[in-house]
Structure 1
């Protein structure tokens, strides 16, 4: 499994995932840049994602929903705040209503994703920063840490395919 660690730091109000892949950063980058690849792994295997919008540029927005085993849909959004291809990207990440409009609770997080070359491999780190300890605990109760681990665990299969 490519996931090396998922670490919660309550003092820093962060959850960070570290994973390593048998592919160069430019290839791992594509699993975020291409919405069809992104929706194959964003979300745990039993909650697959569908991206309705994916305007991958600074100031751009992505909207998506994840569909649970019983058909329940959980909607979300991203607002891209920084993109440095293929080294890093940043985005605000929040929940939305059925029309994709952001909702205030749970509070949005700010994600920083980095891709570092390590020979022929890439170390990817996804660090989510929370606005408060309550917000971090709320998402932890929702299964964020296990969800991240399961989601990122699906990337290897995508990377083995031709882009």
Structure 2
């Protein structure tokens, strides 16, 4: 059990959890920032978590829900306040409604995660601070201490598996629900390089080509919120079919961390999607996460069957070779 102590302090309105791990700070840090990892231990054993957003940068946000054995969902969020790499990060943590909006009927708190190197590995200190004694007592009565102990009991296995995740540079698709699919790819490059590659039209036409035999012949990038983008591809051989493209609007942006866009296939009546791209620094490179929200399960099954993931992998492989 990695938890060494839990201290409730009514004077400072805080709850502090101390834990120790036999791994270096960078490995434990990645476990918290990697969306594929944190959802394996953020919820108690019986209440596994799913993160639909996790952009770990000041001004960023995390949205998650935990599912009970009976199928009931409990939603929460983080608002990211400060991040000092491999030192600490601070978030505002709160309960949420199903649509992600804060549930103000339940208390929010400020959490600071501090990572300190030790001769044996890493000491993790998690300090939650509340607005009142009543708020502190309410979350304790709701089972916060027991739930945290249960959740953190899972981290050790996650840390064992982390090396496998760090070495997996292939594009992976995970169906999260009837409407959402999460695409992940660990890219050998810095966050700055990967962000630039998605915002420089000349660079994009060199790597976002899809499967072999196709080329990007049109590329207009939305650089500011409210602007529209348009991408178009043509086959190099007439036998490969006709061209296709996508257009949409940039709806939200947190530079070098997060973008929210709409997407519609040009000249078709296919339903539009909403895409959320997140870039997270990782000791092996940059984790690119793309959450795609479809109107229904039939649509995401149809799109995945087109070979989209294979085409994306071919493009990301080209991107790495450009660095």
Question: TM-score band (shorter)?
Answer: over 0.9
Task: Tell me which residue corresponds to 1:101.
Answer: 101
Once superposed, which parts of structure 1, at least 4 consecutive aligned residues long, lie more than 4 Å away? none
SS class of match (2:138): helix
Task: Tell me which residue corresponds to 1:114.
Answer: 114
Task: Tell me which residue corresponds to 1:44.
Answer: 44
Q: Report matched runs for 1:77-92 at 5 Å.
A: 77-92=77-92
* Bigger Cα Rg: 2
SS class of match (1:43): coil
Equivalent-residue separation in structure 2 for 1:11 and 1:106 (angstroms): 21
Equivalent-residue separation in structure 1 for 2:122 and 2:108 (angstroms): 27
Task: Tell me which residue corresponds to 2:6.
Answer: 6
Task: Tell me which residue corresponds to 1:28.
Answer: 28
Equivalent-residue separation in structure 2 for 1:90 and 1:119 (angstroms): 25
User: How much has 1:56 moved relative to structure 2?
Assistant: 1.1
Structure number with higher relative contact order (C-alpha < 8 Å, ≥ 6 residues apart) = 1
Equivalent-residue separation in structure 2 for 1:107 and 1:149 (angstroms): 20
- The CA RMSD over aligned residues, in Å, is 0.8
Equivalent-residue separation in structure 2 for 1:126 and 1:105 (angstroms): 24
SS class of match (2:148): helix
Task: Tell me which residue corresponds to 2:159.
Answer: 159
User: How much has 1:105 moved relative to structure 2?
Assistant: 2.1
Task: Tell me which residue corresponds to 2:134.
Answer: 134
Task: Tell me which residue corresponds to 1:72.
Answer: 72
User: How much has 1:69 moved relative to structure 2?
Assistant: 1.1
In structure 2, stretches of 5+ residues that fail to align are 167-323
Equivalent-residue separation in structure 1 for 2:151 and 2:84 (angstroms): 23
Equivalent-residue separation in structure 1 for 2:105 and 2:9 (angstroms): 21
Equivalent-residue separation in structure 1 for 2:106 and 2:16 (angstroms): 18
